[in-house]
Chain A
Amino acid sequence: MKKKAVDALPGSSWSPVLINPNLPPERADIVIVGGGVIGWSIAYWLKQKERVRGGLRVIVVERDPTYSRASTVLSAGGIRQQFSLLENIHLSLASADFMRNINDHLFVLKEDPVDLQFNHSGYMFLANEQVAHIMEENYRTQRSAGAEVSLLSPTQVKEKFPWINTDGVALASYGLENEGWFDPWSLLNAFRRKAVSMGVVQCCGEVTGGLCSHTQTPLCVMVEQVQMPNSLEYQPVECAIVVNAAGAFSGKLAEMLGIGSSPEDSIAGIPLPVEPRKRYIYVVHCPDGPGLDTPFLIDYSGVYFRREGLGGNYITGTSPEEDEEPDTSNLDVDHEFFVDKVWPSLAHRVPAFEKLKVTSAWAGFYDYNTFDQNGIIGVHPLINNMYFATGFSGHGLQQSPAVGRGVAELILDGNFRTLDLSGLSFRRILTQEPMLERNIV
């Protein structure tokens, strides 16, 4: 009886019609499709930059709240400044700055301070004679951009890390500061917690379509159809701006919205060149392995490994050849790949790894940009309210804070303010001018 009285008063959530409480609102200013670290970073920065409290209505739509197939949480979690493209170096440096002051940005009252579990162990790239000159050029670019990197000769490498076999190594590039690895789940949750406390609406559903207004020029996406999980219920969300931060699945989303379905020689006919690529990570245990100062070592053959915890566990993997890409319909791990491709090079480089045991493994998707393996950040040339922040091909996590800030500046201020990322816009795909990154792992 008392409960009925409480329900009858205004402000209670009783209604005679059963409404699904998880539906997104009918109208929003900005819909961010994709609840990974890039999506939540953009949501946080949008709320951070809005000039009036509550002035922007932002929704983040994520179809899988368990994040079972999201690239963010399956990533190895490394951050480095050793890139060849200046934009990538600046993005990574800005993100490291953000992570250093993360509690000034993402602290929420009444919650614990953010702990990223950052290991400052640095990255080390090994080069053989053919690519040593590329490494030297990259070193000069990195130093001029402000990254703290040093070049080492094979004897210096052997002196610093006696467990490396320097056979075939002509030059090594070692990061001194702002490089290492961290916990991607903590970063994602920190962004999400802060964004939700600032008023971003989190919606669990899948975007199954979008209505473009063809009568108006220029074209714009007006309504996004969000379908609830495991049901036929959907909610059309009217929006002013759509941000595609769907990671490995952004190519499919773009196709759904009609990008790339016109004849090939028109602007509308160019598809978003992002597709999922499966990558394996193997956890191995080696009791006699390298110690606390192990950097994230990347060999010129493509094999990488890093220390995980203090108990002699390491994470390792490699990128497969172009023509041997594994099937992306599931996230099953191929253990033969480890024995055939990873272990020989690993044992050759670090002789202690001849005796190891694979304790576990997982697979994750790269949001691989088939055009030039670098992120696509910016607005679509035709649909003027569709923004992209995808295609990072394995280095999205480490650039996420700076990318979020860039996209928020683009949306709210109209152009980039702190970092000029116009080189990474969709325009380079139209003009077919690739910005190739020579240091992709």
Chain B
Amino acid sequence: MAAALRSLHRCCQLPALLVVARRPWSSSSMTRPPVHTRLLLYLTQHFYDVEMLLTWMFNRKRTGIQKKNAYLGYAASLYGPQVAAAHFILTLKGGLRFKNQSDWFRANTKGKFSWDFVNYKDVQIEEIDLSNTMVNYRGLENLDTQRSLRTLSLKGCPEVDDWFLARLHVFQDSLEELDISHCPHITTGGLAALRNLKGLKRLDVSSLPRIQSPGLVVILLEDMLPKCDIVATGYDYSFVQEDEESKVQHMQGQSA
């Protein structure tokens, strides 16, 4: 009888979901998500359908991003790597400039772009502007062959993370300017990956939300890349030091 009761107890307990979902929101380091998200996640604990739907939506979003960043192998084999890279950048709504040309190729706000870049089959790309696009590590495969790239701007890209920075070593001989400000997924470990870019002259690391001690990190970066000019705005560098007594007084004042 004891065995039967035990198995009944286990069936009814839904051990898997409850173990995961028991964590209260207050221990999370994130701010509380909006009401509709909280409602959906509450329903996830009680209904398998909601859980499946949410997981499916999440996976669909991820596959969408991966599809956008797919390697354009067919275009590369037909037109050569430069044209394929240019097409990739333009479909992501970025901008590029070929070597020895002065005008930039860009898509307009509706996503339409001119196909003149097909004429530049053998010209290397010198400057790439991928700010506010969905480029990620997989997309970098399209840009691997541009070994005379001088400027790369990745300002505000939500999918650029530390692994992307680690891959930038392929441009170590030619890259002179790099802008990775406002990227939410970059941490100090990724900035250590910039050690290979010895030719870098200008680096912009402003407003990176996941850097804990920005002042120290900027000093260490300057040591690591001596010839580079580092721009790091958007951080709060002021010293806020409360000593123990004023902290206790402040707390007593609040409780009284």
Contacts and interface: CB of A to CB of B under 8 A. Distances in A.
A13 B137 contact: no
B86 to A, nearest CB: 25
A109 B28 CA distance: 13
Given A120-B189, A196-B16, 8 more contacts: A110-B41, A120-B190, A177-B167, A199-B16, A291-B220, A292-B195, A310-B188, A310-B220
A292 B166 contact: no
A193 B20 contact: yes
B15 to A, nearest CB: 7
B143 to A, nearest CB: 15
Interface stretch (A111-119, A356-364, A396-404): A111-119
B42 to A, nearest CB: 9
Nearest to A311: B216
A180 B29 contact: no
Contact of A292 (B20, B162, B191): B191
A26 interface: yes
A342 to B, nearest CB: 24
16 contacts: A17-B5, A25-B10, A110-B20, A110-B21, A111-B23, A117-B187, A118-B189, A120-B165, A121-B195, A122-B195, A176-B196, A177-B166, A291-B223, A292-B188, A292-B224, A310-B188
Interface string A7-37: 0001101010101000001100000000000
B169 A10 contact: no
B178 to A, nearest CB: 15
B224 A293 contact: yes
B8 A100 contact: no
B213 A310 contact: yes
Given A10-B8, A120-B193, A176-B169, A112 B30 contact: yes
Contacts of B29: 112
Interface string B55-89: 10010001000000000000000000000000000
Given A100-B163, A110-B21, A292-B224, A148 B2 contact: no
Interface string B131-142: 000000100000
A121 B54 CA distance: 36
A178 interface: yes
B118 to A, nearest CB: 32
A326 B195 CA distance: 38
A15 B3 contact: no
B192 A197 contact: no
| Those 7 A-B pairs whose CB atoms lie nearest each other, nearest first | A293-B195, A120-B193, A119-B189, A292-B220, A120-B166, A11-B12, A291-B223
Interface of A: 10-11, 13, 15, 17, 19, 25-26, 100, 104, 107-112, 115, 117-122, 148, 160, 176-178, 180, 193, 196-199, 201, 291-293, 310
Interface string B25-68: 00011100000000001001100000100110010001000000
Contacts of B23: 110-111
A327 B28 CA distance: 42
A117 B210 CA distance: 11
A111 B10 CA distance: 24
Contacts of A121: 189, 192-193, 195
Given A100-B163, A109-B41, A112-B29, A180 B3 contact: no
B16 A197 contact: yes
Contacts of A11: 8, 12
A292 B167 contact: no
A107 B57 CA distance: 13
A213 to B, nearest CB: 23
A385 B124 CA distance: 58
Nearest to B55: A109
B221 interface: yes
A177 B20 contact: no
A26 B3 contact: yes
A119 B193 CA distance: 8
| Most central of A121, A176, A198 by chain B CB within 10 Å | A176
Contacts of A178: 166
B15 A201 contact: yes
A118 B195 contact: no
B231 interface: no
Contacts of A25: 10
Interface in B189-215: 189-193, 195-196, 198, 213
B240 interface: no
B19 interface: yes
A224 B13 CA distance: 25
A196 B8 contact: no
B44 A110 contact: yes
A265 B58 CA distance: 56
B140 to A, nearest CB: 11
B224 A291 contact: yes
B216 to A, nearest CB: 5
Contacts of A118: 162-163, 189
A205 B16 CA distance: 19
A147 B34 CA distance: 43
A107 B15 contact: no
Nearest to A107: B58
B217 interface: yes
Given A118-B162, A148-B169, A197-B17, A15 B9 contact: yes
Nearest to A25: B10
Nearest to B1: A17
A197 B20 contact: yes
B6 interface: yes
A107 B54 CA distance: 12
